[in-house]
Structure 1
Amino acid sequence: MWPDLMQARLIIRLPFLIVVLLCFLVCPAQSNAQLGVLTTYESEGKAPAKKANYVKARKSAVWRALRGAVLQALEDLLGKETRVQSRPQVKKILSSPQKYVKSYRFLESVDDDLEGESRVRLEVVLWTDALNKALNSAGLVSSAVNQKAVVVLILERSFTARPTGRFWDYVPMSEISLAQNLMSGGIHVIRRDRVANTVSEDRVRFAARGDVTAAVDIGLKAGAGIVIVGNAASTSRAGSAKGPVNVQANLSVKVVSVIDSKVIAAKSDFASARAVDPVNGELQAFEIVGEKMGDFLESTIKRYWQPQEKQAAPAMQGESPKVVPTPPPKPAAPLPKKPGLMEDL
């Protein structure tokens, strides 16, 4: 009976031990648990073992390796030039690197008696959302981007042609249509070739799936305050063998604010076209859905910019705010376009 009783006690205690172990593992990141893609870096650190205290030296080496990983992430987000110019803010962030670390594991650990030092090599997983928020609080994000600039990146599947190269080797029809419609509305759109050499294709795919961290990273590298990412696809619907072809184009996008690190709008739409040539039909369908989506995004983005413009002129200290009655909105009337926005762009 005694062995069975001990076994039962172990079974009861095992879940508790597992919970304690999990809490210990996630403890470094409990205050910054963010959703999104986790960025992994490899970093090294070393520290002298004073009075042959290798335990303390190893802890210092780990801290320096974590600091090195955060430094790599900051350089990826800001660029080397901006990071160097912002040394005070960067130094403050680097003073507590563990705040941005989700987890890490040892790739190598050496206590060198001859050199009198401890060396470690770590694989570090960082919360990049937490880093973005820290940069935003320090004013580095807003200084690194043009708040009135937009970058548009669309992953597209075409039924008339399959892309044989990388994402950056061709320009999707849906992306061209959407960008042109936004520019016609007075919105400054950054050309895709400005980010082609700094943003990886995987990063675009992560952003298109809805990852805010990846989208913010794209905006920082492009210098854009707004990132529009999404997916597009065209399909051929049933028709006569020799007659015109019915083509449907679908477009789904998310609009991400780089400054606020959040999605400010999301929309899906479609359009159809009919043509003898499938390619012409596809071009027409993408042009129509791009125009529809462009109208929606233009008004959405400009409405998002309006509160920022109002905050640029705060009331004087000691002056009580004046309450100005506003007439009730007319639901039937369309929203008027504010003058001056296009001039600001």
Structure 2
Amino acid sequence: MTNTAVNGEKTEPGIKAIRLRHPWRNTFAVVLLLIVALFVADAAMRPAYDWPAVGKYLFDQRISQAAFVTLQLTVYSMIIAIILGVTLAIMRLSPNPVVNSIAWVYLWVFRGTPVYVQLVFWGLIGTIYQSIDIGLPFTEPWVSFPTRVALSAFVLAIVGLALNEAAYMAEIVRAGLLSVDSGQEEAATALGMSWFQTMVRVIVPQSMRVIIPPAGNEVISMLKTTSLVTAIPFTLELYTRSRDIAAVTFDTVPMLIVASIWYLFFTSILMVGQYFLEKRFARGIGDRRPDKKADDATASVAGAMTGVIPVVGSGQPTVVLPPTDPRADSSKGER
């Protein structure tokens, strides 16, 4: 405690603030950095990783084409899954018991069985249904297509991934729609909005802040789930293509590293896009800006200072006015 002097006058004793020390936290951070450094140094010198082979195959034409196919599988499957998931979510919220039950059974089947088993089933669809017939039941079909010709392995992979993902997207969308207070829909109806206008202008924009985070995780998960389409079998995606190359060159570990680098590259782009989408749809919700906090605190203090406070024993209330604006006319006095 020390006394300070300003213009020759002594002031109140000052308080010397001492930063709180965290020796164990710093020690733990140093240990972690040493472990990471040792792992990187060991990986750089370990011959099994074969970094020259990683650099050789990282931008190989076969790998880059397989990476593009993986990206196509992810995008096409997610588009179908989102459309079907929204439809299933609306069906789950429907008061019609038949519609609701059909959606529930769909979710039960596709969420209750492994995606690998489903993809194997779709790979055998040509054995179960030899042709796709279009026409009236119990009559000669108008048009008939052989299943193996009409549905390629690429199409079957998209269908299998999309149908499985739609079950999870339906629950995500349903949770987002239920997160919006029912009073919002009632207010929109009172304003004369139709059901479609209410959903598009009121319900969906507010539910997006709840839907975006888990939906972004599902997109990233779909990117990695594409490695399972070898069950169909479809062999042109990234993981299977790198595995086939490794079977010829006997460089299994380097090819796994190459595939992992491409997966990490796509995942990083998706994570950045998810961050900006979350920021876009979370505007005005839980604002953490310091200046806003200060403004809100000032407003709350002003509101707390406004009102009528009874004075004990006087029999008359005392009126407390809010703080006046310093820019206001100085001629205005207190009432």
What is the TM-score normalised by the length of structure 2? Answer: 0.24
The structure number with the bigger radius of gyration is 2
> Normalized per residue, which structure has more strand?
1
Higher helix share: 2
User: Which has the higher relative contact order, 1 or 2, with Cα contacts under 8 A spaced 6 or more apart?
Assistant: 2
TM-score, scaled to structure 1: 0.24
